[in-house]
Every structure is written in structure tokens, then in C-alpha cells.
Amino acid sequence: MKPAYDDGLDADGYPEAKEPWRKPFIRGDESDAGDWVPTPLGSATVDALERISHFVELSPSTDSPIETHIGAAVLMFFERANLPLKLCKMIDLKNAPDALLLVPQFAWSHYRSDWAILHPKRDGALLIECDGKDYHSTVNQIAHDRRKDAVALNRGYLTMRFTGSQIHRDADWCAQKIFDAVCG
């Protein structure tokens, strides 16, 4: 609604613009924000530092950044669910696990998986494969992955595969899927 006198401002108090896309900001109410909830700076900093510490811890044990990325996300997700994973090297696996174990570069048969989660009360393992485009996109590579998954299933291992894009886009979503497979 225009005031009785023309002050050159629109109803929002901005100079009248002939092109509406040049209007800098229109005030709204809380409903304009939708479901967005601001994250306190302290929480975001703690999350970032926790993820970085996991990256530093895992980097020597992994072959690629996507393996490190998903490993850090999995460790964080399980910690937040009060079900922490114990990082374990293959040499520590002489005895049956006494806790949930996260094993990098898990060797089995004549294969190796990027990650494995071993449950103390279950046989087998959950194998986690990080499929980067360079090593998992040709017809031969895909056929090899399928044979590997079939052999794993025959040994009692369940395999979960995530593409590099999925891991980079949302490693926490991948960690949620892994958590659901282990605990669900």
C-alpha cells in the first residue's frame, strides 16, 4: 500500500526498484526459515575438531581420502549413539572380539576390504567398500566387485558399497546406513 505522499520507498522501506530482483532483502517471519535450526558455533567447532582428530588417527591405515572420510564418519556416528567402535589392526584379531571392532584394510581369503566391522556376539563381518570412480567403474572392475561380494556372502560377510560421490556428498548418511546394518 502506497502512502499518501510519495517518499520513493516501497512498503518494505527500500527504494522503489523497477527490477524486483535488485531488491536487497524483504523482511519475513520465522515460517520463512522452514526447518532450519542454527548450529551454535561451539558445537560446530567441536564437531569439526572431532572429525579432524579421527582423520589424523585413521589416515595411516587407509589407502584413500574417501576411506578416511567414511571411517571418521562411522567412528563419530557410533560414538554419538553411545556404541563406540574400537579401532583395530589385523594383527590384533588373533582372539575373538570383545567389543565392536572397526578394522581398516580387512584381509580375508585372497581379498581385502576397505573396512570391516566385527561384532562380538555375531559370526561374520560387515564389509564396507569405498568405490572410487577410478577403480570401480569399468565392466571388468564391476564384475570383479560382484564376484568379491558373492564370495564374501558365502563366507558369512555382508558387503556395503558406497561410491566416492556418496561419501563426499554425505558421509554421515553413509555412516547412518552402516549403523542401521550393524544395530538394526
Between CA 176 and CA 66 the distance in angstroms is: 16
Q: What is the pLDDT of residues 48-107, one digit of tens each?
A: 888 898 888 898 999 899 999 999 999 999 999 999 899 887 666 667 677 899 999 999
Q: Whole-model pTM?
A: 0.73
Taking only the tens place, the pLDDT of each residue in 128-152 is 999 887 777 788 898 999 999 999 9
Contacts 24+ apart (CB under 8 A), 138-146: none
Q: What residues does each domain of the chain span?
A: 41-183
Matching CATH number, 41-183, of 1.10.1270.20, 3.90.1150.10, 3.40.960.10, 3.40.50.300: 3.40.960.10
The size of the chain, in residues, is 184
Measured distance CA(163)–CA(133) in Å, rounded: 7
Phi then psi for 89, rounded to 5 degrees?
Answer: -90, 160
